[in-house]
Structure 1
Amino acid sequence: MTDYGHELLFGSFLTPAADRPEQVVALTKLCEQVGLDLATFQDHPYQPSYLDTWTLMSFLAAATSRIRLAGNVLNLPLRQPTVLARSVASLDLLTGGRVELGLGAGAFWDAIEASGGRRLTPGQAVDALDEAIRVIREVWAADRRGMVRVDGEHYRVVGAKRGPAPAHQVGIWVGAYKPRMLRLVGRAADGWLPSLAYLPKGPAELVDLNALVDEGAEAAGRDPRSVRRLLNLSGRFTRTRSGFLAGPPEQWVEEVAGLALDHGTSGFILGADDPTAIQIFAQEVAPAVRELVAAERAEPGTRAKAVEEQREVVEAGTATTLAVAPTPDPGVRLTDHRLWDESTRPVAPPAPAGHVYTPHAQAVGAHLVDVHDHLRQELGQVRDLLQQVRRGAVSAGAARAALNEMTMRQNNWTLGAYCAAYCTVVTQHHGLEDNSIFPHLRRSDAGLGPVLDRLAEEHVVIHEVVEGVDRALVNLIRDPDDFTELQEAVDLLTDTLLSHLSYEEQNIVEPLARYGFYAGQV
């Protein structure tokens, strides 16, 4: 067993698709919202179907406030190390220390050469990476006297000025698999970042590869524990166990904790563009792994006991009644304007008698209520904004800007309030269709069709009502003394939204608990 003792990091590995730029932006914001530590991105500068990774990271740095960003990994042959060092340091300074440097020696040499890079042999690529790391560290060492001088075979720097220094100690994490490269990681890098999918023997292969990193560190007089071990993960969340990281969240918790405690991995980066998977990984897997690893580190031997207790809970903690209570309609209407006839709303079929709900299924059903509670809270904020505008404490322009930042404004409602939890800032319908809960529920139970159709219709109406609030704020800017339109728009939003959220919960909470967010989850 090898646990290098690093603080655990959880992140995402996202595809920077150029034909859907809004999707990677939305997913990154989602990663921050659900609590991930890190968002990383492929880097293939020769690939026109991908956004340029450095440009994307710069944009995302301004669009986020907490999450760290990194290439996974940056293509060194097409990124000059002196310029790269200053780019990383600059973005790190601008973000207050939120940038890490994932670095790769290069692959796909035909494409690199076609784009103007030099074709290198495997040995030359290792040497070039070694020289580049030296250049980058020298540029960052702004407190040293003298110019940067690295007289390498591949990178020659003969008097470059130092600086700027990054805002924090940026980690240089290298993607590597071969012995010479792994020893270089141990000798010169801050972290090792391979992908599980590229390990033919699976996690067992980490034993020998870690040993090579350790060997390189020891040969350079470094403590092997100073080198962080990260891992790009690939897998599936499913109802039953069917392989490593292919099963329910509790299986992921066991296996990811094992990677930390048995193989020293402390950075877990999920390769997925599925917002549902990102949410589960961040909010169900990551906290439980942190807890399990912390307990084992504090008292060795507790992991096996905790895993067994979890299995017993899953097996024994079932119930034939759903403990989640849908939120009732308040029944009070602030306007006489009715945008739909509530008496014509279809009702979901009853649940099958004797259906058993696991604790996880109960949590799935409860999550819809949690998401709706967030929207109800935002509605309260809208009404509070109206009062502040009336009092002159907030301008109409500032109120409009605040409205545009809210979840209810960011979503187009065509996929329902539930999608807000997973795709809170996704504004394009086509970017969400494949991950929508509604098609899954429709496939699972044809009897839900009328309810889902009605909900979809109401989503369109609510979208227009939210737009009406925005229009009223614009009109208030033109006529700052007339609050009539804005008050009516906010009151109408209150009536329609609270009615709709209650109707959706009454009809969708139980099916969600029964069928899950996606096929085979519960």
Structure 2
Amino acid sequence: MSDYGHPLEFGSFITPAAADPTGVVALAALTEQTGLDLVTFQDHPYQPGFLDTWTLLSYAAARTTKVRLAANVTNLPLRPPAVLARSVAALDLLSGGRIELGLGSGAFWEAIEAMGSPRLTPGQAVQALEEGIDVIRQLWDTGARGVVRVDGEFHRVVGAKRGPAPAHDVGIWLGAYKPRMLALTGRRADGWLPSLAYLKDGDLAAGNKIIDDAALAAGRRPADIRRLLNIGGRFDIPAARWAEQLTELAVTDGVSTFILATDDPDELRRFAAEVVPAVREAVAAERSGSRPAPAPPEPVTVAGRSPFTIKPTTDDGVRRSGTVVWDEQTRPTGPAPDPDRTYTAHDLATGRHLIQVHDGLRGELAQIHDLIDQVEAGTIDVGTARSHINTMTMRQNNWTLGTYCESYCRVVTTHHTIEDRSLFPHLRDADPRLAPVVDRLEQEHHVIHEVLEGVDKALVALVSAPGGIAALREAVNLLSDTLLSHLAYEERELIEPLSRLGMR
């Protein structure tokens, strides 16, 4: 167990959408109104659909009075560290000491190159980040004698005058996942800021060990480094379960700052009102040694149950492609729900989560269409589009076991493992009438995998044949047809069984 004893903090992680700038700022103001501690924004300077993050931070700081603000995380390759240091210090002075500095070594290098910065290898990027931290810290250190002197391989600042100093000791938080970045975090940073969606079971503990070892070797205390975490999720699971999971992350993995990625104001309000107080109370009790034993489950009564009320997403029947990869008329149907059966709120939450996962995939599909539009318009190159697509959930999932299992264990239930992949065998065993449906869904997962491969091949072909945009459009249209049809079928057939049979 690693509880580093930092005070708990909670914040928001907001998309800086250029299409709705007033809505973005309103979410920042709402973060403060709900009593949260921190508001953060993505920083992707190469993304034309995003507001410039540092401009947005300045505007949001002027519209708030208490909440702290940070980029999550700053793209250092496109923001020279000497200029960035003075930007941070200036905004910290103007805001009354409310700015923190999230830093990243860079990602999506095709897009970074397109904006004028040279591509670096992973090792070079880490070295450049360490040099950048040297530059920033020296510029802020107005108590030191002499001028700034960093004669690095990637950043050379020799003779710059120091200052201004920020209004407070600005924290430098690194978005780190690999060993070299984690070791740099331990040596030089004030915080570790990963995203839970990109971590596997055990990664937090392993990362903490690397950071702690590097801190000790550098003469620092492991507790000098705050552990922050970007989290996702929606209120399709009870707030009490969220609180349980975050409390476990706090007392076991040392996380003391939880940053909720959402652009939904209602979810932000519920997080602040229902989850945050429960986590604060539970962690305080754990730290004092007086945490109460878990209450026994309340008995289920008829009054605590309700009919099955979840509506699956319907298939609108619209098809973009002339290619047909399966016969929808041959899809088997499972047993009809028992009209007399009732379900607890927990039962219904299990079914609703399937829709939540699917909505995320539908959103990614819309992003793919937008990326292709940008490729055709010439605002991004093919390599950048391919990099974005390859990081999406639908591309990472192998589609042989279903997106629900993969998302359930990696995003919502933080301590579940890949054993949840037994979902389909569990459904077959628990209700043999579902076997034909499960068999068909697995077959369609393989087809979707092949269709996704077709999109990737079309992207690769477009590099050498610029006239191949039509073939790429067709591949993406086929993906839309197959994915939307499949998701609607899977919801129609599995939502009720998941609510009735649960997870194993």
Same fold (TM over 0.5): yes
Taking the aligned partners of 1:5 and 1:104, their CA distance within structure 2 comes to 25
Query: 1:73 maps to what in 2?
Result: 73
- 1:263 is aligned to 2:253: yes
Query: 1:198 maps to what in 2?
Result: 198
Change (3 A) 1:196 1:357: closer
Query: 1:340 maps to what in 2?
Result: none
1:1-40 correspondence to structure 2 within 5 Å? 1-40=1-40
1:85-484 correspondence to structure 2 within 5 Å? 85-199=85-199, 201-202=200-201, 204-238=202-236, 247-299=237-289, 302=291, 305=293, 308-309=294-295, 312=297
Give the SS at the match of 1:270: strand
CA positional deviation for 1:259: 0.4
Normalised by the length of structure 1, the TM-score is 0.57
After superposition, the C-alpha distances for 1:375-405 in whole angstroms (9 at most, x for unaligned) are: xxxxxxxxxxxxxxxxxxxxxxxxxxxxxxx
Give the SS at the match of 1:211: helix
Give the SS at the match of 2:39: strand
After superposition, the C-alpha distances for 1:66-89 in whole angstroms (9 at most, x for unaligned) are: 111000000000001011011101
Taking the aligned partners of 1:205 and 1:315, their CA distance within structure 2 comes to 37
Give the SS at the match of 1:159: strand
Taking the aligned partners of 2:71 and 2:298, their CA distance within structure 1 comes to 40
Identity among equivalent positions (%) equals: 62
Taking the aligned partners of 2:299 and 2:38, their CA distance within structure 1 comes to 30
Taking the aligned partners of 1:298 and 1:214, their CA distance within structure 2 comes to 24
In the alignment, structure 1 segments of 5+ residues that lack a partner are: 239-246, 321-354, 359-519
Query: 2:55 maps to what in 1?
Result: 55
Give the SS at the match of 2:242: helix
Q: Quick one: which amino acid aligns to residue 291 of structure 1?
A: E
Q: How many aligned positions are there?
A: 310
Change (3 A) 1:161 1:251: same
After superposition, the C-alpha distances for 1:319-345 in whole angstroms (9 at most, x for unaligned) are: 89xxxxxxxxxxxxxxxxxxxxxxxxx
After superposition, the C-alpha distances for 1:347-384 in whole angstroms (9 at most, x for unaligned) are: xxxxxxxx9999xxxxxxxxxxxxxxxxxxxxxxxxxx
Change (3 A) 1:315 1:5: farther
Normalised by the length of structure 2, the TM-score is 0.59
Taking the aligned partners of 1:172 and 1:205, their CA distance within structure 2 comes to 21
In the alignment, structure 2 segments of 5+ residues that lack a partner are: 306-341, 346-498, 500-504
After superposition, the C-alpha distances for 1:267-315 in whole angstroms (9 at most, x for unaligned) are: 1000111111111111110111011101110116x26x1xx22x64697
Taking the aligned partners of 2:23 and 2:96, their CA distance within structure 1 comes to 25
Query: After TM superposition, what 4+ stretches of structure 1 lie above 3 angstroms from structure 2?
Result: 311-316, 355-358
Q: Quick one: which amino acid aligns to residue 222 of structure 1?
A: R
Larger Rg: 1
CA positional deviation for 1:236: 2.0
Taking the aligned partners of 1:267 and 1:182, their CA distance within structure 2 comes to 18
Change (3 A) 1:313 1:283: farther
Q: Quick one: which amino acid aligns to residue 213 of structure 2?
A: E
Root mean square deviation, CA, Å: 2.1
CA positional deviation for 1:173: 0.3
Query: 1:514 maps to what in 2?
Result: none
Give the SS at the match of 2:13: strand
